[in-house]
Amino acid sequence: MRVLINFQYNPTQKLFFKDEILKDLEQEIKNSQNLAELEAIRLSLFGKNGEITELFSKLKSLPNNEKKEFAKKANEKKELYNNLISEKRSELEAKKQNEFLKKEAIDVTLFDEPINSGAIHPVMATMDKIVEYFVSQNFSVESGPLIEDDFHNFEALNLPKYHPARDMQDTFYLNIPNMLIRTQTSPVQIRTMQKMKKPPIRMISPGAVFRRDMDLTHTPMFHQVEGLVVEEGSKVSFANLKYILEDFLHYMFGDVKVRFRPSFFPFTEPSAEVDISCIFCGGKGCRVCSHTGWLEVLGSGVVHPNVYKSVGWKNVSGYAFGLGVERFAMLLHSVPDLRSLFEGDIRLLEQFK
């Protein structure tokens, strides 16, 4: 105590000798409201020019006989305020953490009604079911671009320019010569053969297609699943096609009759459209099947030799098929107007939860 007076060391002198000032400091630490305030106090004591730091810098210049006591006192104070500050710091940190947790807390009991959850769109659910079947039959799933060239979408599929069958599909052409938005998933047949370079091919290709068309059963965008199986030599026949499509349609629609009806597609010969007995009237005839008892669900056929020619393949055989996913979804869920599937009306989607 004497030592400090000798040094006339004012701020610290108070620190050491005037009890009320020491009490004030203690109180100040205890009252600090946040970490920044506390840090300011700490710096005033322990910073570069802090009061306690200065005490220690005085130490060197003291007479030897006084050093020991001075150091002892200084260390006592150092420890005392260090402890007070670090206790207070823990307290303030805990307080800060609690405030943060309170602010971030989520009241899980807040909702007394279940939150609206989404549902898989019926078209996608139907697509998944279709894909699931063919994957189970060892088909690979391939994809191709939505913006196609004339070669892949038409020419390679035996639809040369000015072929009247091009009118079967109302094409969206682009301003770029020979480019269009694909009207069918059949171009993926060509792309897959080009990619694989040789048989065997056993693929499906699900995806969006586009046509200039809009009424009860047509929208400008819809989805198809294309299928193609090619083997070397003459291994693949119409019988294979018939077997897999019958099995597939039973998987999709249950116990229905399946009928193959001669038809025309440029990329298959012979070609067949496939019908199932009407699932609404059981084949007796109703409005949905236009009183025929049958519903058309697929196009198919034995791959036309010109299709192989376009990719330079010889001595191969195969079948192909294509279907509209929306048509399947409409039949499976009795949707009367195709356009309603694309209006995004939550009341429709809610029915598919």
Q: Which residues bind ligand DAH (CB under 6 A)?
A: 184, 186, 226, 265, 268, 299-301, 320-322
Shortest gap between Cβ of 274 and ligand DAH (angstroms)? 10
* Separation of alpha carbons 88 and 318, rounded Å: 82
Shortest gap between Cβ of 122 and ligand DAH (angstroms)? 21
Shortest gap between Cβ of 320 and ligand DAH (angstroms)? 3
- Nearer CB in complex with ligand DAH: 268/317: 268
Helices of type H across the chain:
2-7, 10-17, 19-31, 35-46, 51-59, 64-104, 122-136, 150-153, 187-196, 238-253, 305-311, 325-333, 346-349
- Nearer CB in complex with ligand DAH: 45/157: 157
- Nearer CB in complex with ligand DAH: 50/318: 318
Residue reference for tokens 């030599």: 233
DSSP structural state of residue 339: G
Shortest gap between Cβ of 247 and ligand DAH (angstroms)? 17
String of DSSP letters for 83-136: HHHHHHHHHHHHHHHHHHHHHH---TT--SSPPP-----HHHHHHHHHHHHHHH
At 149, give phi and psi (nearest 5°): -100, 165
- Nearer CB in complex with ligand DAH: 213/350: 213
- Nearer CB in complex with ligand DAH: 268/310: 268
Shortest gap between Cβ of 110 and ligand DAH (angstroms)? 51
β-partners of residue 322 are 226, 299
Instruction: Identify the CA nearest to 190 among candidates 35, 311, 92, 107.
Output: 311
* Separation of alpha carbons 349 and 341, rounded Å: 8
* Separation of alpha carbons 205 and 148, rounded Å: 15
Shortest gap between Cβ of 351 and ligand DAH (angstroms)? 29
Is 113 known as a binding-site position?
A: no
Report yes or no: 43 and 58 within 8 Å, Cβ to Cβ: no
- Nearer CB in complex with ligand DAH: 160/282: 160
Nearest position to ligand DAH, beta carbon: 322
What single-letter amino acid sits at 4? L
Q: Which residues are annotated as a binding site?
A: 269
Q: Which residues are annotated as a binding site for Mg(2+)?
A: 269
